[in-house]
A and B are shown apart, each in its own frame.
Chain A
Amino acid sequence: AQSVTQPDIHITVSEGASLELRCNYSYGATPYLFWYVQSPGQGLQLLLKYFSGDTLVQGIKGFEAEFKRSQSSFNLRKPSVHWSDAAEYFCAVGAGNTDKLIFGTGTRLQVFP
């Protein structure tokens, strides 16, 4: 069964600073990997996804993520954070032999002006 770990519960950055949110997954074969963002009181919105091919994927709102098989990681990055990026971010893993999409526990991002 697949699983995903987000080791950082809460991250605080200053506006304009760079950002990296960590995600580690567990799955025997090549997983499908996703990052979602949740603004307060809202449902989740897809930021980006990895299925195969280029290990550096670009998403919406200036986010990117890199799939590293050797480290079982799929970290989310943004070179310059905006105040509107304050939200909760979820990493999720899916698998080819199942229709379950499993989410991590989330990382809450706070942005200071």
Chain B
Amino acid sequence: NAGVTQTPKFQVLKTGQSMTLQCAQDMNHEYMSWYRQDPGMGLRLIHYSVGAGITDQGEVPNGYNVSRSTTEDFPLRLLSAAPSQTSVYFCASSYGVSSYNSPLHFGNGTRLTVT
């Protein structure tokens, strides 16, 4: 099984450019989420989704958009990149945060640099 697949692995953007980080899972998980990881800050929740057509904001949603048109995919969009968005981004999925038998499955991350 592929699990959670994130693309690209690395990306360099200039300030003001837009891009989409892709995330796909093949486990039929209803719950998907995006985190950013910064030194000394741990993982901070950006957006999450409990199913197709449903999204909600996490701790640090500003500057990011998401949509969930299918169960499998949960892309993260940066409309106008800023240096403060330089980070490592992780996508994760599960059957649900409150599902005992379904821990979060993480992708391998996308390292984004905004210059």
**Chain A positions near chain B (C-beta within 8 angstroms):** 6, 9, 32, 34, 36, 41-46, 49, 51, 90, 94, 96, 98-106
Bound CA–CA A68/B103 (angstroms): 22
Closest chain-B Cβ to A3's Cβ sits at a distance in Å of 10
Size of B's binding interface in residues, CB under 8 A: 27
Is the CB–CB distance between B97 and A32 below 8 Å?
Answer: yes
**Chain B positions near chain A (C-beta within 8 angstroms):** 4, 31, 33, 35, 40-45, 48, 50, 56, 58-59, 90, 92, 96-98, 100, 103-104, 106-109
Chain B residues positioned under 8 Å from A94 (CB to CB): 97-98
> Pick the contact of A101 from B4, B56, B97, B107 — CB < 8 Å?
B97
Bound CA–CA A34/B103 (angstroms): 9
Q: Can you give 28 contacting A-B residue pairs, CB < 8 Å?
A: A32-B97, A36-B104, A41-B108, A43-B90, A43-B107, A43-B108, A44-B43, A44-B92, A44-B104, A49-B100, A49-B103, A51-B100, A90-B43, A96-B98, A98-B97, A99-B96, A99-B97, A100-B48, A100-B58, A101-B45, A102-B45, A103-B35, A103-B43, A103-B44, A105-B40, A105-B41, A105-B42, A106-B42
Is the CB–CB distance between B106 and A99 below 8 Å?
Answer: no
Bound CA–CA A98/B58 (angstroms): 11
Bound CA–CA A96/B99 (angstroms): 10
Closest chain-B Cβ to A5's Cβ sits at a distance in Å of 10
Is the CB–CB distance between A43 and B106 below 8 Å?
Answer: yes
Bound CA–CA A102/B48 (angstroms): 12
Is the CB–CB distance between A44 and B106 below 8 Å?
Answer: yes
Is the CB–CB distance between A44 and B59 below 8 Å?
Answer: no
